[in-house]
């Protein structure tokens, strides 16, 4: 490390960011790599912990563009290397000719302050000040690209709404377009992985008692869990660790999401400064669009319902957009194609995914003419088809030539393409232990663990299923499957789960996608025409909720999470209906075992079919 240590800068709330110009890393000579961990003060006096990495062979007169990642998951741990050759992220960016800057969000890591909510406007405003600080450094070209996975991708994109002139591109990978509908409360139901995540981030923030509470929940010794989590990296200098301790004392009043989430079942609910529309990209479309910042998106068909978010993003934003939609876990480190072995390698690999990110930044951040990318418009999507292993590109959604085919429910658990379905009904008593397993799409968004759906023939024995005849030819489904059920239930509310599955000739059942709906949220509202092909328009507002009339048949439409899948010739299409997913979603209050009655004659399955198959 070279240069002047910046630990413990005075927190002068009135100091202009431009005045920080003199407080920079010291001059560098050729063949040196620079790393420093420093505090940068915000206008309100809160100091953010910032790591700065500069490339090797950077002459004192040379300037470089910057890759910026802002996170609430620690910019680094206290055991992370400071040698760029030992840090994969730093090695990649520095080797590509960028400075790398990473920032702990206020109220997290080694930064001071506390968190009144996640992704607050104050937090996003902080990153505007960090952008100005970077641009004032003698090593900076003034051009910055923000990037990140998940929360870090959210911060990158939300910062674009500031229209800061130094932010020239955003790469939001596996980010949350709609936190409510696509991640935490699919269909208005209550996702359970959010609660252990909420406790884990309190451990990371250093909140007193959180580590032992989490350890008790996991039934492990508290000391072992504390050791496993470690601590965030302190800033440089002899006072670094004492400053870290002081910062973590300021984290004690951080909002505990576990206390507020149960009271926020509807999208328009707010409590203690937390509101659903305040923490996602949804609702910020026009502000981000006005920035004209080019955006790179990456997502997965199997990462919660964030594929819907990516597609909605493409269809509703006017920014220049490039997107990649694959079959990975959250983060893209493992393969999640349910037709592949559980240990299959990610394709493209993480290194190849990085190459896509670097090439995008080279065009939009490193380029000398900042207006080049901003003059372009429109979007382009590369997407992967499950079960086929093939990538395609499109600039329209659904892809050109997509048509809709209908199937109807028939006696004996059959799906039929004949007529309008058959008269009669089927009764299903919900099995509250039914599950898609812990390695699910709903879990990976909070843990980044692999997505694995084993053969579901035993799981389907607990469900109400309808299965089609063997297909005479390959059939490619790309888009949003829609299932309409004429349904009666014996209580005012319940969760309806609908799965799309593939049944092979040997009886193997492969999960493809699913839709979830809390029945009290079934009402549709006038939607946005732009993304009507991606989601059923629902407000999920408290005023629009309506209980079911027990025993009365009601038409209920469920949009399944968008997908692209190839059903092979000889395979059969299956729809499976459940009322519980024990490992992933919390049911409404009650005994958890409602009775569904499905009127076959009023029920339809509609699939978006690629014109290249039939």
| Residues tagged active-site | 150, 303, 330
Task: Please name the residues in contact with 49: beta carbons below 8 A apart, sequence gap of 6 or more.
Answer: 37, 38, 39, 75, 103, 104, 109, 110, 111, 232, 233, 234, 235, 247
Question: At 290, phi and psi to the nearest 5?
Answer: -65, -20
Measured CA to CA, the distance from residue 340 to residue 551 in angstroms comes to 42
Measured CA to CA, the distance from residue 474 to residue 557 in angstroms comes to 27
Apex CA 594: angle with CA 534 and CA 579, to 5°?
35
What Å distances lie between residue 470 and 388, 481, 502, CA to CA? 18, 19, 11
Apex CA 491: angle with CA 489 and CA 494, to 5°?
75
Measured CA to CA, the distance from residue 101 to residue 135 in angstroms comes to 12
Report DSSP letters for 407-442, one per residue.
Answer: EEEETTTEEE-STT--S-EEEEE--TT----SSSHH
Q: Closest Cα to residue 178, out of 193, 199, 157, 162? A: 157
Contact 56, 85 (CB under 8 A): no
Strand ranges across the sheet with 99-104: 34-41, 47-54, 99-104, 64-71, 140-149, 167-173, 295-300, 321-326, 379-385, 390-394
Task: Please name the residues in contact with 86: beta carbons below 8 A apart, sequence gap of 6 or more.
Answer: none
Exposed e or buried b for every residue in 297-306, given b needs 16+ CB within 10 A?
Answer: bbbbbbbbbb
Residue whose pair of structure tokens reads 């692209």 in the numeric block: 564
Residue 596 neighbours by CB distance under 10 Å: 22
Dihedral sign computed on CA atoms, order 470, 473, 474, 479: negative
Measured CA to CA, the distance from residue 88 to residue 560 in angstroms comes to 37
Which residue spans within 199-332 are E strands per DSSP? 270-271, 274-275, 295-300, 321-326
| Rg, Å, the chain Cα set | 25
Q: Peptide bond before 348: cis, by omega within 30 degrees of 0?
A: yes
Measured CA to CA, the distance from residue 143 to residue 167 in angstroms comes to 6
Contact 237, 8 (CB under 8 A): yes
Measured CA to CA, the distance from residue 371 to residue 156 in angstroms comes to 19
Measured CA to CA, the distance from residue 358 to residue 147 in angstroms comes to 10
């Amino acid at each position: 490390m070279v240069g002047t240590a910046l630990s413990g800068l005075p927190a002068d709330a009135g100091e202009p960011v431009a005045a920080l110009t003199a407080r920079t890393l010291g001059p560098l000579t050729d063949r040196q790599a620079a790393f420093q961990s420093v505090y940068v003060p915000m206008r309100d006096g809160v100091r953010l912990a910032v790591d700065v990495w500069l490339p090797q062979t950077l002459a004192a007169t040379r300037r470089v563009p910057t890759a910026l990642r802002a996170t609430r998951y620690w910019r680094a741990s206290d055991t992370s290397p400071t040698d760029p050759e030992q840090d994969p992220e730093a090695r990649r960016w520095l080797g590509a000719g960028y400075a790398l800057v990473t920032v702990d969000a206020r109220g997290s890591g080694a930064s001071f302050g506390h968190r009144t909510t996640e992704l607050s406007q104050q937090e996003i405003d902080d990153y505007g000040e960090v952008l100005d600080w970077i641009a004032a450094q003698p090593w900076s070209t003034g051009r910055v690209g923000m990037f990140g996975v998940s929360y870090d991708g959210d911060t990158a994109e939300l910062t674009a709404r500031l229209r800061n002139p130094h932010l020239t591109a955003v790469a939001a990978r596996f980010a949350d377009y709609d936190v409510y509908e696509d991640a935490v409360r699919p269909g208005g139901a209550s996702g359970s992985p959010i609660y252990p995540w909420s406790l884990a981030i309190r451990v990371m923030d250093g909140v007193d008692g959180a580590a032992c509470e989490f350890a008790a929940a996991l039934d492990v010794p508290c000391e072992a869990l504390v050791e496993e989590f470690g601590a965030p990296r302190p800033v440089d200098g002899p006072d670094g660790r004492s400053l870290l301790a002081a910062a973590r004392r300021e984290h004690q009043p951080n909002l505990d999401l576990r206390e507020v989430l149960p009271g926020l079942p509807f999208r328009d609910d707010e409590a203690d400064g937390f509101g659903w529309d305040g923490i996602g990209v949804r609702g910020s479309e026009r502000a981000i669009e006005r920035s004209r910042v080019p955006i790179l998106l990456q997502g997965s068909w199997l990462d919660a319902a964030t594929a819907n978010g990516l597609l909605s993003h493409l269809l509703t934003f006017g920014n220049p957009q490039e997107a990649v939609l694959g079959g990975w876990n959250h983060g893209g480190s493992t393969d999640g194609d349910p037709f592949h072995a559980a240990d299959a390698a990610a394709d493209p690999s993480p290194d190849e995914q990085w190459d896509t990110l670097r090439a995008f930044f080279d065009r939009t951040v490193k380029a000398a003419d900042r207006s080049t990318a901003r003059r372009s418009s429109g979007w382009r999507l590369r997407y992967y088809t499950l079960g086929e292993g093939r990538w395609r590109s499109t600039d329209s959604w659904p892809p050109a030539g997509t048509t809709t085919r209908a199937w109807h429910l028939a006696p004996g658990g059959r799906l039929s393409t004949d007529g309008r379905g058959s008269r009669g009904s089927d009764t299903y008593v919900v099995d509250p232990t039914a599950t898609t397993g812990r390695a699910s799409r709903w879990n990976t968004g909070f843990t980044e663990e692999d997505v694995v759906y084993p053969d579901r023939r035993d799981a389907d024995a607990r469900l109400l299923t309808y299965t089609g005849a063997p297909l005479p030819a390959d059939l490619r489904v790309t888009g949003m499957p829609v299932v309409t059920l004429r349904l009666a239930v014996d209580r005012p509310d319940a969760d309806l789960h609908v799965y799309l599955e593939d049944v092979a000739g040997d009886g193997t059942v492969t999960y493809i996608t699913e839709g979830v709906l809390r029945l009290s949220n079934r009402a549709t509202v006038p939607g946005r025409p732009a993304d009507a092909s991606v989601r059923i328009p629902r407000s999920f507002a408290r005023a629009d909720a309506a209980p079911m009339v027990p025993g009365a048949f009601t038409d209920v439409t469920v949009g399944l999470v968008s997908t692209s899948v190839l059903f092979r010739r000889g395979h059969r299409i299956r729809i499976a209906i459940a009322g519980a997913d024990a490992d992933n979603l919390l049911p409404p209050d009650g005994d958890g075992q409602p009775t569904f009655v499905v009127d076959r004659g009023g029920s339809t399955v509609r699939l978006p079919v690629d014109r290249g198959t039939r």
